Structure 1
Amino acid sequence: MIDALAWIAVLPPLLATTILAIELGAAQMRCAALPSTRPAELTILIPAHDEEARIARTVQAARMAAPADAAILVVADNCSDATAGCARAAGAEVIERQDEAQRGKGHALGFARRHLRAAPPALVVVLDADCDVEGDGLSRLAGAAAALNRPVQSAYLFRPADHRGPLVAVSGFALLLRNLVRQRGLARIGAPALLTGSGMALPWRCFEAAPLDTGDLAEDLTMGIALAQLGMAPGFLPLVTTWSDPGGRVATLGQRTRWEQGFLRGAARHVPPLLLSGDWRQMWLALHLCVPPLALLGLLSAAALLASATLAAFGASTLPLLLLSLSLAAAAALVLLSWWRFGRGQVGPAQLLLAPAYMLWKLPIYLRAILAPERLWKRTPRD
């Protein structure tokens, strides 16, 4: 019985850290280049809620980065400021939506889809109002999606911002591990990419089939999984980066609360059907979703180590403790390698030492997920 308790304590984090280590290891290998072709018609779709301070800059940057004949459509969604007027002044087409009962990005995208159905473009690129795509990335992203006839996701990252403090920097590195490194791992393994909400290109057939018009906290996660199940698995283009500016500590914690609670709920909902799909690519995607956010994984692993060590002191087998320790060591080494290869510009070596403090900083997210879960979409405050 005591051996069984040790295995029960260790198995969930052991599975998660093993999956994480496999993906991080695969990410170190070269990803195959995606084909590219010029899309016939392209619409850049920018959902925006109270973004008057930023929307003109986003529209202008998109115009400079996109093909000359691309259309830019801004959805001014439940705005109480001058977002619509600023977007029009910057040269975008603007549609406005007011529906306080249905808030969130999914509803804004659904509203835009109904508008575009009158003359649908060949391709839609979704770009958040606080984001811009580096260099000629918009054209490259659209070209890859047009060639594959499937969605393609860029690497959606936070710009390094030392003035935000070390915990925000560590949060940016954690996002890089999820949105760049593990996405590279999925691509190298051959599994579908995850859509991450901004800097994603969808052929019209995929945009039409996507489940929009929801208040889901993780509408991008749900959209990518649904398209993979429909045979339109998203691809990943790691050399195109979509940048967003991080907020301060309070804003970052609020944003991660929405993202991570949405991820945990979405994973619980999607893992069973993906595992039962019979398609190994979807089954790996289910395993990917079994890895919780890294701060939560660290907390769970520490608790499992303590429990298994305590049980070993009372006579339980030490094998569960040994296997979990080896798995954690492998995952930690691969995280450091990933930092060396991809993340040194995001966070410094001294800041990495604050990883335990970062896990404790995020503990309220997981407590609120149990005691007071988020139900409604909330805009991240801007400076």
Structure 2
Amino acid sequence: MITRIPVEGVGFKAYEVLVGKDLLKDAAGYISPFLKIRRVFIVTDANVAPLHLAPLEAQLTAAGITAQHLIVEAGEQTKSWEGLKTVTDAFVSAGLDRKDIVLALGGGVVGDLTGFACAVYMRGIDFIQIPTTVLAQVDSSVGGKTAIDHPQGKNLIGAFHQPRLVLCDLDVLTTLPAREVRCGYAEIIKYGLLGDRDFFDWLEANDAGVLALEPEAIRHAVARSVEMKAQIVAQDAREGGARALLNLGHTFGHALEAEVGFGDLLLHGEAVAVGMAQAFRYSAATGACAAGDANRAIAAIRHAGLPTAMSDIYWKDGRNSPFDPERLLVHMGHDKKAEGGTLTFVLVEGIGKAFVAKKVNRQSIHDFLVRDGAHFQEA
């Protein structure tokens, strides 16, 4: 069964997200209607290429579609100016023009980098997302946010550039390490925490099935997540209002990622997991959220095997935190939601009730980070 989820909004062409099994085996059939000329350019990474590139190219060739490719280094460090140059140089060398279409075959790094390259190359060429991780399927491949990182902050340089199609093949997820599946689950549970308590309840009861990639559990989890994101994007395509809710946990989490250097030490989903737990703890500490809801949310994140505190993060030499609150606040000041030097956070009134809090008191965040780090290091 294939679930088709439309993504519509003001200022971009509507497109579909397809969620199901065996989509990659018939990718040529899904892609062909979008081709103006019978060729594509594939961007993938060194982890995905050995698993999925050759079968995809063989299938495209059999359908009479010429395929060229670029394999980039795997990892967050590829989302950089150098990575962008590598991709756009490859586009120039391949002679791509505005009639061409690019396939982003990979996780969130490949999707973000490729999408941004397509946004700026010749002022915009079409691309199709073929996300190969849980996180990319439920989050980064949908909605048109594309970017590279800056040493001072994550995704600071980017553009809104919507794909023409998103193919979420659930079969490819079976090649993922367990850690990557857990990272994707962080973004799945985020949807329940920010706006759908019934979905959160379902995840509490079915997290083991989702994490084990049981067919019906993972299908429902991915499809519901995409549906929620599509609904929010339809209201706010360019993150001027409701879409900011999708950043639950991200202001805290991005600061942690920036501090450790955007690498394998702390993956994005893990950082978001800690950030969501911090958002609930801070909301409870300020009286916005009942302590019972905060404890329940944090327990559900932890039950999935995800970190929930700064003391769960270890440096390469084996030391765990503390993180310096002042340094984290500097990173938070570079967050895209910050306005006029003030801090903006997505906080919660309870499970399924997130809200955007602007002009959050800097000292209150500093004091919270001090308490949060100290408490959990002692625990």
TM-score normalized by structure 2?
A: 0.35
Which structure features the higher share of strand residues? 2
Q: Which has the larger radius of gyration?
A: 1
Q: Relative contact order: is structure 1 or structure 2 higher (C-alpha 8 Å, sep ≥ 6)? A: 1
